[in-house]
Amino acid sequence: SYARLVDEARYQVACELLVQRDVRIMEIAFATGYKHPSHFTRAFRRICGVSPNKFRKNLHVLNP
């Protein structure tokens, strides 16, 4: 569906931005089209299975 395509596109952009540690999660939420960071976090967790914070921390473990 269209909504799923939009979610997947937002997720891809968010993953690329989360790699950049100097970009705050709130900024990523706005950059991916969410009006509220909490909505971004909820949507990201639904797609990825973990919060954006946890995703970023896991990246640090994989690439110190």
21: Cβ–Cβ under 8 A, 6 or more apart, which residues? 56
Contact 59, 18 (CB under 8 A): yes
Q: What is the pTM of this model?
A: 0.84
What is the pLDDT tens value at each position of the chain, 64 positions in all?
Answer: 999 999 999 999 999 999 999 999 999 999 999 999 999 999 999 999 999 999 998 876 666 5
pLDDT at position 60? 65
3-state secondary structure of 51: coil
**Is the distance from CB of 13 to CB of 5 less than 8 angstroms?**
no
- Spatial distance between the Cα atoms of 52 and 42, rounded to a whole number of angstroms: 9
Measured between alpha carbons, how far is 60 from 58 in angstroms, rounded to an integer? 5
